[in-house]
Structure 1
Amino acid sequence: MLIHGKEVKGSDVDKETRCLHYHSEIDRIAIKFYCCDTYYPCFSCHEEKGCNDPQVWPKSQFHQQAVLCGSCGHELTIDEYLHCQSSCSSCKSAFNPGCSLHKHLYFEV
């Protein structure tokens, strides 16, 4: 599905990047996976429809844009996302703060 001009793959993805697995009002980001350079709403979507070789972003690449705000389409760098206090730096839409519990699935910690 194209969301703000970016392809986001996954299961039942809506216009703000929510998916079958995470679909509350504040579930509105997609993460570009390091292994396949493709946006997915969550790790489960990548497991189901991805490259079958999940790899986390190394710290040396945290300056890369890899998080898509489903509300406005702003692409955050990993550093920006990890320090954004669960809201988009561009449109201020809230992100799910619970996502921080899963950061080890996407980023080197």
Structure 2
Amino acid sequence: MQTLEKATAESTKGANIAMLMSWPMMTARTLPLPDRRARIRLETAVWDGLDAISAIEGRSIRELCGDLDASRSTGASLPSAIRNYVLDYFRKAERMQGL
């Protein structure tokens, strides 16, 4: 009986995750960087996060992405650098709030 309850709980947990997940919508933007124009495709949620950071920090998307482009390591793509920056920014903000 306990095995059946555990199996039901596991399948229910998976269903909840599936209900929360959706395929990410990709959006492309063209960014004027200091040395070029770059067309970047990112998940809409990442762009939303970058827009929020821009508002919080009082810096333009162009400035933020220009700094990320200049500081990223060789071989790392700009979209990956942006994703990591947005994730790290909000992780650090959460830690600072003590959540």
TM-score scaled by length of structure 1: 0.25
Structure with the greater alpha carbon radius of gyration = 2
Which gives a bigger RCO, structure 1 or 2 (Cα 8 Å, sep 6+)? 1
TM-score scaled by length of structure 2: 0.26
Of Structure 1 and Structure 2, the greater strand share is in 1
